[in-house]
Structure 1
């Protein structure tokens, strides 16, 4: 909503000669004075059964979907309305996971998306620790219920306050604890049938 403003190469060179963090400082100063940057959050959607004639692979990450065929659908807005009080706690430890989905959503066949969705959470476990979802900056609105026990960054034991056995870290088990919820909806992925063959 704040528009697009660009620098010429000469202007960028002159600014960076004195302050190479000028873009970060501009963002910080704008938020501090109450001039909050805002973006409209939109998505483009293609149904699984919709295969329009395109001159490119729609799952190619280097391509942009034409807006006349796949219009931008607004789903919300993103506003940066405060600067972090503690940079390490709120920025360095932030962990965004593309593999966490709500019921009703699923991944496309985009190989980059599928690969990154696996690696993001794995990277967070290595970089921050296995309990990264317990940190205040990463904690979801609804509490996380897992069998994760101990390790770096542990704040609490999932389910211990509800009387579950705090020593159980596997499932299924006969000692109680968190159990996997049954699936309530049919699998979202398309059904594919065919002969399994070895390709030489």
Structure 2
């Protein structure tokens, strides 16, 4: 972040230098092409500033989505581990006794508590401004449909797991939820990395333009 601050603080100096170039050109102290050069420099700075703002918003959007996936993975860890240990439904019934059974019930009961995964998904899904920036990275033309689709699948699997918890369908419901959590988590991880890479690209471009030393 300090690197970013250094880049942003360097922009006014570049603009001042360009404005000085314009003044000198107007006074007839430079070659005829100086004004054109100055205009190109200002347009480049403006474009990079715009890219910087967009990349920051993209990064923020994916950070929010990644927060959901981490919340799910952390709060549902015990149940996910149990499902991973079970080879089939009978094995799950054998393992899921005593404290393990209580652990799964606690995990399921907590999914719909305030600030946990269930409510967070509903809140974030309703924030359409996230879709705008998510779409930029996923390169989709359907106004964030992928984000809606993946979120809705996860919401439905959470509902089913909560509904079927403690019944004969518990194993299948939890296994399905585990699969959707893993898909969502991998997706969020990958896209967050892309967002960070894009953010760093813009910062690097700004640094090169302003001759800011990296280090």
Q: With structure 1 as the length reference, what TM-score do the two structures score? A: 0.20
Bigger strand fraction: 1
Bigger helix fraction: 2
Q: With structure 2 as the length reference, what TM-score do the two structures score? A: 0.19
Larger radius of gyration: 2
